[in-house]
Protein backbone atom coordinates (compact mmCIF):
# COMPACT_ATOMS: atom_id res chain seq x y z
CA UNK A 1 0.00 0.00 0.00
CA UNK A 2 1.50 3.33 -1.02
CA UNK A 3 0.61 6.96 -0.37
CA UNK A 4 2.74 10.08 -0.13
CA UNK A 5 4.00 10.15 3.47
CA UNK A 6 2.97 6.73 4.82
CA UNK A 7 1.25 8.10 7.92
CA UNK A 8 -2.43 8.28 6.91
CA UNK A 9 -3.84 6.44 3.91
CA UNK A 10 -1.38 3.62 3.31
CA UNK A 11 -1.06 2.50 6.96
CA UNK A 12 -4.87 2.57 7.24
CA UNK A 13 -5.07 0.43 4.10
CA UNK A 14 -2.37 -1.90 5.42
CA UNK A 15 -4.28 -2.35 8.67
CA UNK A 16 -7.61 -2.93 6.96
CA UNK A 17 -6.09 -5.44 4.55
CA UNK A 18 -4.41 -7.31 7.40
CA UNK A 19 -7.78 -7.53 9.18
CA UNK A 20 -9.54 -8.79 6.04
CA UNK A 21 -6.81 -11.36 5.40
CA UNK A 22 -7.07 -12.60 8.97
CA UNK A 23 -10.86 -12.92 8.64
CA UNK A 24 -10.35 -14.85 5.37
CA UNK A 25 -7.74 -17.14 6.96
CA UNK A 26 -5.03 -15.83 4.63
CA UNK A 27 -2.94 -13.81 7.06
CA UNK A 28 -0.13 -16.41 7.09
CA UNK A 29 -0.05 -16.66 3.30
CA UNK A 30 0.05 -13.01 2.28
CA UNK A 31 2.68 -10.42 3.16
CA UNK A 32 1.42 -6.86 3.56
CA UNK A 33 3.38 -3.64 4.00
CA UNK A 34 2.96 0.06 3.36
CA UNK A 35 5.27 2.86 2.30
CA UNK A 36 5.35 6.41 1.04
CA UNK A 37 6.68 7.91 -2.14
CA UNK A 38 8.32 10.66 -0.06
CA UNK A 39 10.61 10.45 2.98
CA UNK A 40 8.79 13.12 5.02
CA UNK A 41 7.74 10.79 7.84
CA UNK A 42 10.24 7.91 7.79
CA UNK A 43 10.22 6.31 11.24
CA UNK A 44 7.06 8.12 12.37
CA UNK A 45 3.96 6.34 13.64
CA UNK A 46 0.69 6.78 11.76
CA UNK A 47 -1.16 10.05 12.28
CA UNK A 48 -3.18 9.87 15.54
CA UNK A 49 -6.39 10.55 13.58
CA UNK A 50 -5.66 7.60 11.30
CA UNK A 51 -4.95 5.40 14.31
CA UNK A 52 -8.22 6.42 15.94
CA UNK A 53 -10.27 5.92 12.78
CA UNK A 54 -9.05 2.35 12.25
CA UNK A 55 -9.23 1.58 15.97
CA UNK A 56 -12.96 2.32 15.77
CA UNK A 57 -13.13 -0.43 13.14
CA UNK A 58 -11.24 -2.93 15.27
CA UNK A 59 -7.73 -2.43 13.88
CA UNK A 60 -4.56 -1.33 15.68
CA UNK A 61 -1.88 0.29 13.51
CA UNK A 62 0.03 1.99 16.34
CA UNK A 63 3.05 -0.28 15.82
CA UNK A 64 3.54 0.73 12.17
CA UNK A 65 6.30 3.17 11.22
CA UNK A 66 6.62 5.27 8.09
CA UNK A 67 9.05 4.20 5.43
CA UNK A 68 9.77 5.20 1.86
CA UNK A 69 9.26 2.88 -1.11
CA UNK A 70 12.50 1.02 -1.82
CA UNK A 71 13.65 -0.20 -5.22
CA UNK A 72 13.55 -3.77 -3.84
CA UNK A 73 9.77 -3.41 -3.31
CA UNK A 74 9.22 -3.66 -7.05
CA UNK A 75 10.74 -7.16 -6.99
CA UNK A 76 9.38 -8.20 -3.59
CA UNK A 77 5.64 -7.56 -4.03
CA UNK A 78 3.08 -8.90 -6.49
CA UNK A 79 0.76 -5.92 -5.96
CA UNK A 80 1.82 -2.32 -5.37
CA UNK A 81 -1.39 -0.48 -4.63
CA UNK A 82 -1.40 3.30 -4.63
CA UNK A 83 -3.91 5.69 -3.15
CA UNK A 84 -3.98 8.27 -5.93
CA UNK A 85 -2.88 9.23 -9.40
CA UNK A 86 0.12 11.30 -8.32
CA UNK A 87 1.64 8.38 -6.43
CA UNK A 88 0.80 6.05 -9.31
CA UNK A 89 2.64 8.33 -11.76
CA UNK A 90 5.68 8.61 -9.49
CA UNK A 91 5.99 4.85 -9.10
CA UNK A 92 5.52 4.12 -12.80
CA UNK A 93 8.30 6.61 -13.58
CA UNK A 94 10.55 5.00 -10.97
CA UNK A 95 9.86 1.28 -11.49
CA UNK A 96 11.48 -0.85 -14.17
CA UNK A 97 8.99 -1.37 -17.02
CA UNK A 98 8.64 -5.08 -16.22
CA UNK A 99 6.98 -4.13 -12.91
CA UNK A 100 4.49 -1.56 -14.20
CA UNK A 101 1.65 -4.10 -14.21
CA UNK A 102 2.02 -4.56 -10.44
CA UNK A 103 1.32 -0.88 -9.81
CA UNK A 104 -2.40 -0.23 -9.55
CA UNK A 105 -4.71 2.16 -7.80
CA UNK A 106 -6.27 0.54 -4.74
CA UNK A 107 -9.69 1.79 -5.76
CA UNK A 108 -9.45 -0.05 -9.07
CA UNK A 109 -10.67 -2.96 -6.90
CA UNK A 110 -13.62 -0.97 -5.54
CA UNK A 111 -17.17 -1.62 -6.71
CA UNK A 112 -18.44 1.70 -5.34
CA UNK A 113 -15.50 4.03 -6.06
CA UNK A 114 -13.54 2.56 -9.02
CA UNK A 115 -12.70 5.89 -10.68
CA UNK A 116 -11.71 7.82 -7.58
CA UNK A 117 -8.60 8.49 -5.56
CA UNK A 118 -8.26 7.94 -1.83
CA UNK A 119 -7.74 11.64 -1.14
CA UNK A 120 -5.19 12.65 1.48
CA UNK A 121 -7.11 13.47 4.68
CA UNK A 122 -4.09 15.03 6.44
CA UNK A 123 -5.30 18.64 6.29
CA UNK A 124 -8.95 17.83 6.92
CA UNK A 125 -10.98 16.61 9.84
CA UNK A 126 -12.06 13.18 11.08
CA UNK A 127 -14.72 12.85 8.37
CA UNK A 128 -12.02 12.52 5.71
CA UNK A 129 -10.46 9.57 7.53
CA UNK A 130 -13.85 7.86 7.79
CA UNK A 131 -14.56 8.42 4.09
CA UNK A 132 -11.14 6.98 3.24
CA UNK A 133 -11.83 3.91 5.33
CA UNK A 134 -15.17 3.34 3.61
CA UNK A 135 -13.36 3.38 0.26
CA UNK A 136 -10.50 1.23 1.49
CA UNK A 137 -12.81 -1.40 3.00
CA UNK A 138 -14.77 -1.67 -0.24
CA UNK A 139 -11.59 -2.12 -2.31
CA UNK A 140 -10.04 -4.58 0.13
CA UNK A 141 -13.05 -6.91 -0.11
CA UNK A 142 -12.58 -7.18 -3.88
CA UNK A 143 -8.81 -7.46 -3.55
CA UNK A 144 -9.24 -10.46 -1.23
CA UNK A 145 -11.51 -12.10 -3.82
CA UNK A 146 -8.81 -11.59 -6.47
CA UNK A 147 -6.10 -13.00 -4.22
CA UNK A 148 -8.19 -16.08 -3.45
CA UNK A 149 -8.93 -16.57 -7.14
CA UNK A 150 -5.45 -15.73 -8.37
CA UNK A 151 -3.37 -18.74 -9.39
CA UNK A 152 -0.17 -19.05 -7.42
CA UNK A 153 2.29 -21.72 -6.43
CA UNK A 154 1.85 -23.12 -2.94
CA UNK A 155 5.45 -22.20 -2.06
CA UNK A 156 5.09 -18.61 -3.18
CA UNK A 157 3.13 -15.94 -1.38
CA UNK A 158 0.94 -13.38 -3.04
CA UNK A 159 2.21 -10.13 -1.65
CA UNK A 160 -0.17 -7.18 -1.83
CA UNK A 161 1.06 -3.84 -0.80
CA UNK A 162 4.28 -2.03 -0.44
Residues with catalytic annotation? 3, 9, 120
CA-based nearest residue to 14, from 39, 31, 29, 37:
31
Q: What share of the chain is helix, strand, coil (3-state, %, to 5)?
A: 45, 10, 45
CA distance 75 to 13: 21
Q: Give the integer Cα–Cα distance in Å for 32 and 39.
A: 20
**Given strand 103-105, what is the order of strands in its sheet?**
35-36, 2-3, 80-82, 103-105
Amino acid sequence: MVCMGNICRSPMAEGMLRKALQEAGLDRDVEVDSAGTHAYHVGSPPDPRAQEAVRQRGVDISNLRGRQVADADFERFDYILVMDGDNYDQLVRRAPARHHGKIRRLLSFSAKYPDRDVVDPYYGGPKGFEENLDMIEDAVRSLIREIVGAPHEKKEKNRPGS
